[in-house]
C-alpha cells in the first residue's frame, strides 16, 4: 500500500490526550512505511506503547510470544503472511490475555468485511482512514483491555480468596479433627478420672474401714483398761496410748476430709444449733491441753450476736478445733482468746459472723503467712520438727470457711503471737433461744463484785459480763492486789464487795492462798467466794473448803457463771433444766436392755460386750447378717447394734430382711449401725436401709451410750407420756387415738370401730412398705399416694398422730421433697408402734378415752 491511502484531512490536528498511565501495548503491522509512521504517531499520542513491524511474519512473531499486546492493527495485504492469516492463527491459540484486532484494508465490500471478521478481527477500517475514526475505533479496545484487566484482577482475587478459603477450610478441618481428637481424649480422660475418682473413693472407704476397725479396738480396750484399778505408771502408759490413738484418728479424719474436699463430696448439714453452746463445748474439749501448758483459754461472744443459728455446727467446731489447737500448740505462755462478733447482717434471717483466735505464741513471718493455708505447709522445717503436724489443718479450715461463704486470714509477727480471722455465713433461727439473764439479773444491779485474775483479757471479758448485769465491778490483777483493795475498803469505810470471783491459778499468791487469808480476817470472811478452777488441775477440796460459795471451770460459760453468782448470793439459780436433762439422759441407757450385737471382729466384740455388760445390759453376739436375722426371728431383743460390713450378709441386707419381717408382725426393733465407713452418703445409706441411728468407728463409750439412749428414748416411752411429751415439745402430732368423731359416724357401734382399727393395723405395714419403696426409687407421685392412703385410714379411726404426720408427708411429696418425707418415716413408725401398744390393752375402748376429735 502507498501513503496516498492516508486521508489528507488529518492536518496534524489530532489532539493528544494527556499522558498519564499507559493504556497498554499496541502492535501495528503495515508494509507501507508512511502508513506505519502515521499509525505510530496517532497511537503514541493516545498514550499507547507502540510496537511497529512491516510484515505479517514479524507480526505473528510478536503476537505468538508470551507478552501479548492488548491491541493489534494489521494491514490485510502484507508480504510473507497477510493480516487475515495472522488473525486466524492468533484466535486458534488458547491465550489467557485477549488481543483486540483491527484490520486496515482498501477492500470495503460486504464479503470482504465478512471474511475479515470471520478470521477473528474485532473491527474493520477502510483506507484511506480518518485519524479521528481510527481513534474512535481504538477506544473499544481500550475499554475491553480495561474490562479484561479488571476481570483478570477479580479472577485473581477470587482465585486468591478461593485459595484462602480452601486453605482455611483445610485448616478448619484439621482443627476440627484435632478438636475431635482432643474431645475424644478429654472424654477418655474424664472417664478415666471418674473411674479413678470412684476407685479413690472406694479405696478411701476401704482404707477408712480397715484402719478404723482396729482403732476402735485400741481406743475401746484402752478406755476399758483406764476404768480399772491401775498403778500410776500403768495409767500414764495407757493415757499415752489413748492420746496417741486419738491423734492418729484425728490425722485419719483430716486426710479423709481433705480427700472429700478435693472430690467435691464434703457434706454440710443445715441444722439449728446454739452458737454459744457449741463454742463452749468445743473450747472445753481443748481446755485440758491449754491448762497442761499453763495457758489461759478464753472464749467470748459479744452480746449482739444471735445465739440460735442454722448451719453446720460440726464444721464450725472443726475449724475452731484446728485454729485453737494450733494456737495452743505454738504458744508456750500467755493466752488463747476466741472472740465472736457480728461482721455484717446479710438480711433479716441471715448473718455473717466474724471469728478471731488470738494467741501469744511464736508468731509467723510475713513470707510464711502466704503459704500456711496451702496443703501440707508449715511455717518452716524447724517448726515441723519441734511441733509436728501435717499442715492439713489450716488447709482444711480454709476450704471449710470458703464453703461457708467466708474468708480466712492471719495477722502475725515473729515473737508477737498470731490472730487468725475468719468469717462464716449462717441463717438465723426464727425463734431465738430465750436467755434467762434479763429475768433474773434485776437482783444483781448495783451489787459490788471484785474479780481477781492475773490475765487481763479474762478480767476484761468477765468484767464486761458483770457490767451488763448491772453489777458494780472492780478488778485486781493478783492476790496481793486483791488483799490491798480489801484493806483499803475497810480503812476508808467503803462498802466491801458482796461477791469475790477468784482465779485459783495466779503467780505469786494463788487463789487458795488468798482464800486462806480471807478466812482468817473476820471482816472479810463472810464475803461469798466463787472459785475459777482449771480443767487440767482440778482441786478436790473445791466444794468442801470453807468460804467457797460456788466453783466454775475455765473457760467460764456465762450461764454457769450466772448460776454460780445467784447461788453464792443466796438467790434461786437461773436454770432448773439441768436436773430434768440429767433424768432424761439417764433414763435411756441406764435401764437394762436385751441387746443383739452383730459384729464379725472378735476384738470389737469384746470392746462392745465389756461396755454394755458394765452398764447392766444383756448381750447376745452373732457374727454376720444371716445369723442376725435368725436371732431376731427366734428371740426377743430391745435393740440391735449392727455392723455394716460382714461376710455372707452385710448389715444393710440384714436390716432390710428384719424390716420386711416386721411388716408381717407389726413389731419394731430399733437398729443402730456401727460402721467404720465415714464417706459421704454412708450415714444416709444406713437410714435408707431402715436403721434408726448411726455411730462411726472408732467410737468412745460415751458415743455408744448416747446412741443407745437416743434410740431407746424415741422408741420405748409410755404411749400416754409420749403423747404429752410430743405436745410439750411442739411436735404437734396429737393424741394416739381420738375416737369421738369416728364413733359419731358409726352411730356408736363400738364393735365395728374396733374391727376398723384392727383392719388398719393389719394393712398399715404394706402401705408403709410401698411408701418406703417410693422414697428409695425417687417416685414422689407414688409416695404422695401411699401417704394419702394411710392418711385416709387414719382419719377413719381417729389416729390423730398418724393423720397429722401423713398430711405433712403428702404436702411434702406434692412438692417433690422426698427428703422431708423420708425424715418423717421414723416418726410415722413410732406413732404406729404407740397405736399397736395402745390397742393391745383390753380396756383400750373404755369411754374415758373418747374426747373431741382433732381431725
Reported as a single tens digit per residue, the pLDDT across 486-542 is 999 888 888 889 999 999 889 989 888 998 898 888 888 889 999 998 865 545 455
How many Å apart are CA 787 and CA 792, to the nearest integer?
9
How many Å apart are CA 433 and CA 307, to the nearest integer?
7
* Three cell numbers written together for 464: 464486761
566-600: burial string, b at 16+ Cβ within 10 Å, e else: bbbbeeebbeeeeeeeeeeeeebbeeebebbbbbb
How many Å apart are CA 833 and CA 799, to the nearest integer?
12
Nearest to 275, CA basis, from 435, 410, 466: 435
Higher-scoring residue by pLDDT: 253, 760: 760
Asked if 206 and 190 count as a contact pair (C-beta separation under 8 A), the reply is: no
Q: What are phi and psi of 468, to 5 degrees?
A: -65, -25
How many Å apart are CA 357 and CA 327, to the nearest integer?
8
- Calculate mean pLDDT across residues 24-35: 86
Asked if 437 and 446 count as a contact pair (C-beta separation under 8 A), the reply is: no
pLDDT tops 90 at residue 342: yes
**Model pLDDT for residues 620-649, shown as the tens digit of each residue:** 999 888 998 888 887 778 899 998 888 788
**Model pLDDT for residues 757-805, shown as the tens digit of each residue:** 887 888 888 788 888 888 888 888 888 888 888 888 888 888 888 888 8
Nearest to 613, CA basis, from 712, 717, 704: 704
Asked if 588 and 663 count as a contact pair (C-beta separation under 8 A), the reply is: no
pLDDT tops 90 at residue 421: yes
Q: What are phi and psi of 494, to 5 degrees?
A: -80, 160
Nearest to 637, CA basis, from 616, 656, 615, 619: 619
Range name among 123-137, 287-301, 679-693, 775-789 with the lowest pLDDT average: 679-693
Name the 3-class secondary structure at 235.
Answer: helix
Expressed in angstroms, the distance from the first to the final Cα of the chain is 132
211-241: burial string, b at 16+ Cβ within 10 Å, e else: bbbebbbbbbbbbbeeeeeeeeeeeeebeeb
Nearest to 72, CA basis, from 82, 62, 80, 81: 62
Asked if 297 and 283 count as a contact pair (C-beta separation under 8 A), the reply is: yes
pLDDT tops 60 at residue 436: no
Q: How many CB atoms lie within 10 A of CB 159?
A: 10
Asked if 547 and 502 count as a contact pair (C-beta separation under 8 A), the reply is: no
Within 8 A by CB and 6+ apart from 150, the residues are none
Whole-number mean pLDDT of the chain? 79
pLDDT value, residue 76:
87
pLDDT value, residue 123:
86
Q: How many CB atoms lie within 10 A of CB 497?
A: 23
Asked if 605 and 596 count as a contact pair (C-beta separation under 8 A), the reply is: no
Going by their DSSP bridges, the two strands 671-675 and 693-696 should be labelled as: parallel
pLDDT tops 90 at residue 420: yes
How many Å apart are CA 843 and CA 169, to the nearest integer?
92
Burial of 793 (0-12, 13-18, 19+ CB in 10 A): buried
Cell 461469798 belongs to 528
326-355: burial string, b at 16+ Cβ within 10 Å, e else: bbbbbbeebbbbbbbeebeeeeeeebbbbb
Sign of CA dihedral 786, 788, 793, 797: positive
Higher-scoring residue by pLDDT: 729, 327: 327
Q: How confident is the model at residue 460 (pLDDT cuts 50, 70, 90)?
A: very high
Q: How many CB atoms lie within 10 A of CB 194?
A: 10
pLDDT value, residue 361:
92
* Three cell numbers written together for 274: 446454739
How many Å apart are CA 103 and CA 122, to the nearest integer?
8
Higher-scoring residue by pLDDT: 543, 732: 543
Q: For residue 685, give Cα distances in angstroms to 68, 601, 644, 651, 765.
A: 91, 22, 10, 11, 21
Amino acid at each position: 500500500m502507498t501513503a496516498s491511502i492516508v486521508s489528507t484531512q488529518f492536518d496534524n490536528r489530532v489532539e493528544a490526550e494527556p499522558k498519564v498511565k499507559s493504556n497498554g501495548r499496541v502492535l501495528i503491522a503495515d508494509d507501507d512505511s508512511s502508513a506505519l509512521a502515521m499509525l505510530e504517531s496517532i497511537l503514541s499520542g493516545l498514550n499507547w506503547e507502540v510496537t511497529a513491524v512491516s510484515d505479517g511474519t514479524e507480526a505473528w512473531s510478536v503476537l505468538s510470544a508470551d507478552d501479548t499486546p492488548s491491541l493489534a492493527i494489521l494491514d490485510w495485504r502484507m508480504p510473507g503472511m497477510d493480516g487475515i492469516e495472522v488473525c486466524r492463527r492468533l484466535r486458534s491459540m488458547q491465550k489467557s490475555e485477549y488481543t483486540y484486532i483491527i484490520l486496515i484494508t482498501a477492500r470495503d465490500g460486504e464479503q470482504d468485511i465478512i471474511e475479515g471478521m470471520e478470521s477473528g478481527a474485532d473491527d474493520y477500517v477502510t483506507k484511506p482512514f480518518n485519524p479521528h475514526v481510527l481513534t474512535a475505533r481504538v477506544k473499544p479496545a481500550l475499554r475491553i483491555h480495561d474490562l479484561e484487566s479488571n476481570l483478570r484482577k477479580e479472577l485473581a482475587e477470587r482465585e486468591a480468596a478461593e485459595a484462602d478459603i480452601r486453605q482455611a477450610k483445610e485448616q478448619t478441618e484439621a482443627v476440627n479433627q484435632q478438636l475431635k481428637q482432643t474431645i475424644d481424649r478429654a472424654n477418655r480422660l474424664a472417664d478415666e478420672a471418674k473411674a479413678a475418682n470412684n476407685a479413690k473413693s472406694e479405696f478411701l472407704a476401704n482404707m477408712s474401714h480397715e484402719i478404723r476397725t482396729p482403732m476402735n479396738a485400741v481406743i475401746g480396750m484402752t478406755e476399758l483398761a483406764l476404768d480399772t484399778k491401775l498403778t500410776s505408771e500403768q495409767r500414764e502408759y495407757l493415757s499415752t496410748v489413748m492420746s496417741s490413738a486419738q491423734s492418729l484418728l484425728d490425722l485419719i479424719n483430716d486426710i479423709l476430709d481433705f480427700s472429700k474436699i478435693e472430690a467435691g463430696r464434703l457434706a454440710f448439714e443445715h441444722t439449728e444449733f446454739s452458737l454459744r453452746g457449741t463454742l463452749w463445748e468445743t473450747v472445753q474439749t481443748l481446755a485440758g491441753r491449754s491448762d497442761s501448758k499453763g495457758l489461759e483459754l478464753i472464749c467470748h461472744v459479744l452480746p449482739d450476736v444471735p445465739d440460735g443459728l442454722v448451719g453446720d455446727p460440726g464444721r464450725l467446731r472443726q475449724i475452731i478445733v484446728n485454729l485453737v489447737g494450733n494456737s495452743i500448740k505454738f504458744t508456750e505462755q500467755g493466752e488463747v482468746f476466741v472472740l465472736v462478733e457480728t461482721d455484717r447482717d446479710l438480711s433479716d434471717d441471715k448473718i455473717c459472723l466474724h471469728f478471731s483466735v488470738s494467741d501469744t505464741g511464736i508468731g509467723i513471718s510475713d513470707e510464711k503467712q502466704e503459704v500456711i493455708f496451702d496443703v501440707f505447709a508449715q511455717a518452716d522445717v524447724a517448726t515441723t520438727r519441734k511441733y509436728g503436724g501435717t499442715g492439713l489443718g489450716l488447709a482444711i479450715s480454709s476450704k471449710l470457711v470458703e464453703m461457708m461463704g467466708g474468708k480466712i486470714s492471719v495477722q502475725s509477727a515473729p515473737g508477737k503471737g498470731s490472730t487468725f480471722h475468719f468469717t462464716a455465713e449462717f441463717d438465723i433461727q426464727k425463734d431465738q433461744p430465750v436467755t434467762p439473764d434479763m429475768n433474773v439479773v434485776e437482783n444483781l444491779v448495783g451489787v459490788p463484785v471484785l474479780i481477781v485474775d492475773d490475765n487481763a483479757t479474762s478480767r476484761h471479758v468477765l468484767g464486761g459480763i458483770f457490767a451488763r448485769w448491772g453489777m458494780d465491778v472492780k478488778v485486781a490483777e493478783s492476790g496481793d492486789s486483791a488483799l490491798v483493795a480489801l484493806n483499803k475498803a475497810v480503812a476508808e469505810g467503803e462498802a466491801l464487795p458482796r461477791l469475790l470471783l477468784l482465779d485459783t491459778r495466779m503467780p505469786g499468791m494463788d487463789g487458795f492462798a488468798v482464800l486462806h487469808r480471807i478466812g482468817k480476817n473476820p471482816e472479810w470472811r463472810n464475803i461469798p467466794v466463787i472459785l475459777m478452777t482449771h480443767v487440767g488441775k482440778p482441786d478436790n477440796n473445791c466444794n468442801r473448803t470453807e468460804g467457797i460459795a460456788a466453783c466454775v471451770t475455765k473457760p467460764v460459760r456465762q450461764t454457769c457463771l450466772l448460776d454460780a453468782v445467784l447461788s453464792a448470793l443466796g438467790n434461786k439459780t437461773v436454770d432448773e433444766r439441768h436436773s430434768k436433762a440429767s433424768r432424761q439422759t439417764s433414763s435411756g441407757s441406764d435401764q437394762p436392755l436385751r441387746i443383739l450385737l452383730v459384729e464379725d471382729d472378735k476384738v470389737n466384740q469384746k470392746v462392745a460386750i465389756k461396755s454394755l455388760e458394765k452398764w447392766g445390759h444383756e448381750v447376745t453376739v452373732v457374727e454376720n447378717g444371716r445369723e442376725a436375722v435368725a436371732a431376731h426371728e427366734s428371740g426377743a431383743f430391745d435393740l440391735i447394734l449392727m455392723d455394716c460390713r460382714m461376710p455372707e450378709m452385710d448389715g444393710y441386707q440384714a436390716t432390710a430382711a428384719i424390716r420386711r419381717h416386721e411388716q408381717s408382725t407389726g413389731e419394731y426393733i430399733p437398729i443402730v449401725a456401727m460402721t467404720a465407713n465415714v464417706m459421704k452418703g454412708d450415714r444416709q445409706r444406713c437410714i435408707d436401709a431402715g436403721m434408726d441411728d448411726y455411730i462411726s468407728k472408732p467410737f468412745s463409750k460415751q458415743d455408744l451410750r448416747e446412741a443407745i439412749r437416743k434410740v431407746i428414748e424415741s422408741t420405748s416411752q409410755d404411749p400416754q407420756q409420749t403423747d404429752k411429751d410430743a405436745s410439750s415439745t411442739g411436735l404437734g402430732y396429737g393424741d394416739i387415738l381420738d375416737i369421738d368423731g369416728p364413733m359419731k359416724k358409726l352411730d356408736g357401734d363400738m364393735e365395728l370401730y374396733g374391727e376398723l382399727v384392727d383392719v388398719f393395723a393389719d394393712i398399715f405395714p404394706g402401705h408403709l412398705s410401698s411408701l418406703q419403696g417410693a422414697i428409695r426409687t425417687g417416685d414422689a407421685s407414688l409416695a404422695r399416694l401411699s401417704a394419702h392412703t394411710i392418711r385416709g385410714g387414719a382419719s377413719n379411726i381417729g389416729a390423730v398422730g398418724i393423720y397429722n404426720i401423713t398430711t405433712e408427708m403428702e404436702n411434702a411429696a406434692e412438692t417433690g421433697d422426698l427428703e422431708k418425707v423420708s425424715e418423717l418415716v421414723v416418726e410415722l413408725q413410732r406413732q404406729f408402734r404407740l397405736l399397736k401398744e395402745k390397742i393391745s390393752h383390753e380396756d383400750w375402748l373404755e369411754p374415758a378415752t373418747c374426747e373431741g376429735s382433732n381431725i
